[in-house]
Amino acid sequence: MISTRRADFFGPSRPTVFARDAAIATSHPLATAAGLEILQAGGNAMDAALAAVATQCVVEPAMTGIGGDCFVLYAPKGKPTVAMNGSGRAPAAASVEALKAAGLTDEIPRTSAHAVTVPGAVSAWTKLHADYGSLPLDRLFARAVDYAENGYPIAQRVAFDWLDEAPLLAQDENASAFFLPGGKPLLAGQRHAQPLLGRRLRDIAGRGAAAFYEGETAESLVRYLKGLGGLHTLEDFAAMTDGAFYTTPISTDYRGLTIEECPPNGQGLAALMLLNILREFDLGEGLSLADRVHLHAEATKLVYHNRDALLGDPSAMTVAVETLLAPETARRLAAHIDMGRAQPPVYWDEPEHADTVYLCAVDRDGNMVSFINSIFHAFGSTRIDPATGVLLHSRGSSFRLIEGHPNAIAPGKRPMHTIIPGLLRREGEAVGVFGVMGGQYQAAGQAALISGLLDRGLDPQVAIDAPRSFAFNGELELEPTYPEAVLADLAGRGHRVKAAIEPIGGAQLIVRGGESDLLLAASDPRKDGCALGI
């Protein structure tokens, strides 16, 4: 029986996948299968990741798309990690003054054309393929194109998210036409096709990034956005053709491993700051579950307060990354934590949970890729160009309309991103790739996942399955798998406890370990996906 009950997605555990040669883990079974097919055909980890993410852009339209952004960490065997920043920039005419003149005062609505920065994913994909791919793009996109043109079956969690967003989709004529056939959301097991998206993928495979950022597609997207009041120009889009760029990862050490993240404008810095604070405490098995949740909550509030005040495009940040990652900073923040009492909540006005896909892959040669692609909110801005079939993201809604703020919108500026791939090294060698989905939760989720692995010695799948909590907007949200006694204990410490009505985030993980030096792969049961290996 097919179910879309919320409680079913907190689901029972599944075993960790053991693989000898290569592995891939994604949040959708068709994407995992597409990536595994490439690995079996001799493709490398980057090939598999690109095949998988292109497939997810078709089969998980609420979570991701070619009209979004991405960040990637890639560790070639025996070489340093490279970080790819595939986040787009605001139009050259965008500024706090311009948006306030257009009638915006406090925030940028997710459905506004101003929430759409120039999408960066396609620029990143094509650059990564040119530099690290081994199979042609048309081969890598074959499954995605087939599903787009000939249809794919709606998976259960996909249907669950689709149903949640139906009222918002119905408010946009184009979104309704593409995603609410007959005025209703599609259900699990039904079939959906996006032939225009298939055509875009064919074009990108044949002509590279220019097929998206120049010519007919770009002209159509600019015309469509201008019709919604946007400030975008053809020059803004053309500048993104080669706009994705490589940068150097940032890192911290935790319990004998080095955790690497992309630098700002992503919130990977927040994940590392959280781990630095947790490093000041003993989080072994002797710590009670209530203490563990409380400690994570208090550390999260401290770090997110700093994140929202200080993070943005690095060109606008006033506090150095090195300062925020310094041991003395962690010690000073950790000193504010009272294990017996929740501190007064720290409020911020960032959007709540948003939507993303994360995947990871390791190939026969030991190359590792950690890959995250996002349209931010579910179905992004809900704005879809009817001529091209491109659903546009809402990442620009993260910008502040506060002059002088590090994350204030400005010409050509990149907003603070929540999406963060992670990578693990031991004594210099890459030993794992991981990521957590769930918008604002991602930094907190990564810290909890790494703590489960390294502080508690949990099996990878068990670490992913573990109950989740998130201190956000003055509340402590907990999944219903926590015992009532833990909820009562936390409420007694002053937390405003809230029961989660949907799963908190999702995760994928591949690590190398064990006596046989196998790949251990895991995928979150809160999503439809799976991990597979060969």
Q: Which residues contact 249 (CB under 8 A, 6 or more apart)?
A: 73, 81, 82, 83, 260, 261, 262, 263, 423
Cβ pair 244, 237 in contact under 8 A: no
3-state SS record for 282-335? CCCCCCCHHHHHHHHHHHHHHHHHHHHHHCCCHHHCCCCHHHHCCHHHHHHHHC
Cβ pair 436, 445 in contact under 8 A: yes
Provide the sign of the torsion angle of the four alpha carbons 267, 418, 88, 529, taken in this order: positive
Q: Which tokens go with 331?
A: 């010690």
Residue 380 pairs in a beta bridge with none
Cβ pair 28, 529 in contact under 8 A: yes
Catalytic residues: 356
CA distance 355 to 360: 17
Q: How far is CA 367 from CA 67, 118, 453, in A?
A: 28, 30, 22
Q: Which tokens go with 265?
A: 């404008």
Q: How far is CA 335 from CA 290, 387, 424, 448, 470, in A?
A: 19, 56, 27, 20, 21
Identity of residue 74: Y
- Specify the 3-state DSSP secondary structure of 213: helix
